[in-house]
Amino acid sequence: MAESIQAIRGMNDIVPESTLYWQYIEDVLREIARNYGYQEIRFPIIEHTELFERSIGVVTDIVSKEMYTFVDRNGDSLTLRPEGTVGCVRAGIQQGILHNQVRRLWYLGPMFRHERPQKGRYRQFHQFGVETFGLPGPDIDAEHIFMINRLWNILGINDQIVLQINSLGTKETRVLYRDDLVIYFKKNINELDEDSKRRLNTNPLRILDSKNPNMQSVILHAPKMPDYLDEESKIHFDKLKCLLDAAQIHYEINPRLVRGLDYYCCTVYEWIAEKLGAQNALCAGGRYDDLVAQLGGKATPAAGFALGLERLAEIVTAQKTIESTPDVYLITVGEIARQRGLLLAEQLRDKLPKLCIITSCSSGGFKTQFKHADKSGAKVALILGDKEIEQNIITVKYLREDKPQVSLKFSEVIKLLEKFD
């Protein structure tokens, strides 16, 4: 036997039993997006490498070590998208749909990061993302948080998730903060691990994100971002907090929340689900008011978030049971019945388009087909054999209810099945 080829490490198949949960979640997400007046945008999975380098930042983990980058047959450097915001902005600028207007957009699809795979961290994963353009105030940050909060409520998982918020201020205040952080960490260099020593020269804010228990004390006493905020960012953050309070959305302020992408400014947030273990960030976002101009568009304020579908599916799967069973299973006995059966199923589908009807399509005998019907979870089996064809009837056998089987005319069968519609 030939050796079977396995999927790439960190890239998952999603089998039918699991897609039921994904479809349920995706339906809820689409409905929420529609409720809030967001429109779907689709953009390519591959972009020019430079796009991500210019926006996410060359010193970030994503760009410096996690991108799937390759040279194509034309000699161009291309990259599988590691996230959606940047492609969305690129598409928005190119299509001329951002300038001088308000846009509320969403997308859903696969993203790729060459991270070390572990539970909840994959190399191909899926994000549902929302990006809004043209609104500078904190109300749109609040609207995004309300949307996500509504999602948790609909899924019944709100008690498992905590919202952390922070403000990163403007680019200018971040430079001041960064300088002071570097001075502080240089003074305490002996307490830093190797990774953080490296980051001191590249991305010192990310040191605050370190999970190393030996570094928690030095991080705790480091200068804090809120002390550096400019007046405008402070007012923006205060207004956002008031809106969240008014909506009774509970949040924690985490002054160490800096995010792993360079394009953020002002509001940032993460929704954490402790239950997920080490990879516990379920959803994250914030403002990126400079990005559109940075990528060649006219300056446009912007904000958004993205949530990881693998992580959300894990929580929802543990929370509820979703099964999909057919309504009707059609059993046919004999060659003539087999042909008629296929046509009968078509007629039933014409009359009852919402029902799930499975035809056995099997040359197996009655017993085998009946076993399949029962295993399928169908509510009823319809039986078509020589006797039924001769008398122009269909036999109905209830598979989940304790009722005697009946033989009915087509019109009577329709009436009976209408209640499953």
Contact positions vs ligand HAM (CB under 6 A): 83-85, 113, 115, 121-122, 125, 127, 129, 131, 260, 281-286, 304-308, 310-311
Q: Which two tokens stand for residue 331?
A: 């059993």
Q: How far is the CB of 56 from ligand HAM (least distance, A)?
A: 9
Q: How far is the CB of 164 from ligand HAM (least distance, A)?
A: 12
Pick the closer one to ligand HAM by CB: 312 or 352: 312
CB neighbour list of residue 62: distance below 8 Å, 6 or more residues apart: 52, 56, 82, 83, 113, 260, 261
Buried b (16+ CB within 10 A) or exposed e, 35-54: ebebeebebeeebebebbbb
Pick the closer one to ligand HAM by CB: 276 or 396: 276
Pick the closer one to ligand HAM by CB: 111 or 381: 111
Residue facing ligand HAM at closest CB distance:
308
| Among the listed residues 361, 304, 379, the one whose alpha carbon sits nearest the alpha carbon of residue 33 | 304
Pick the closer one to ligand HAM by CB: 307 or 333: 307
> Contact 134/103 with Cβ under 8 angstroms?
yes
Cα 357 from Cα 131, distance rounded (Å): 40
Cα 220 from Cα 411, distance rounded (Å): 75
> Contact 45/110 with Cβ under 8 angstroms?
yes
> Contact 139/303 with Cβ under 8 angstroms?
no
> Contact 266/234 with Cβ under 8 angstroms?
no
Q: How far is the CB of 23 from ligand HAM (least distance, A)?
A: 19
170: three-class secondary structure by DSSP: coil
Pick the closer one to ligand HAM by CB: 276 or 331: 276
Q: How far is the CB of 1 from ligand HAM (least distance, A)?
A: 34
81: three-class secondary structure by DSSP: coil
Pick the closer one to ligand HAM by CB: 40 or 418: 40
Pick the closer one to ligand HAM by CB: 180 or 209: 209
- Phi, psi at residue 62, to the nearest 5°? -60, -50
Instruction: Label residue 284 exposed, middle or buried (CB < 10 Å: 0-12, 13-18, 19+).
Output: buried
Pick the closer one to ligand HAM by CB: 152 or 185: 152
Q: How far is the CB of 112 from ligand HAM (least distance, A)?
A: 9
CA atoms within a 13 Å half-sphere pointing along the CA-CB vector of 348: 28
Pick the closer one to ligand HAM by CB: 91 or 373: 91
Q: How far is the CB of 233 from ligand HAM (least distance, A)?
A: 17
Q: How far is the CB of 154 from ligand HAM (least distance, A)?
A: 18
Q: How far is the CB of 247 from ligand HAM (least distance, A)?
A: 20
**Phi-psi sector, 57: left (phi>0), alpha (psi -120 to 50), beta:** left
Q: How far is the CB of 148 from ligand HAM (least distance, A)?
A: 11
How far, CA to CA in Å, does 58 sit from each of 23, 48, 176, 184, 219? 36, 14, 20, 24, 24
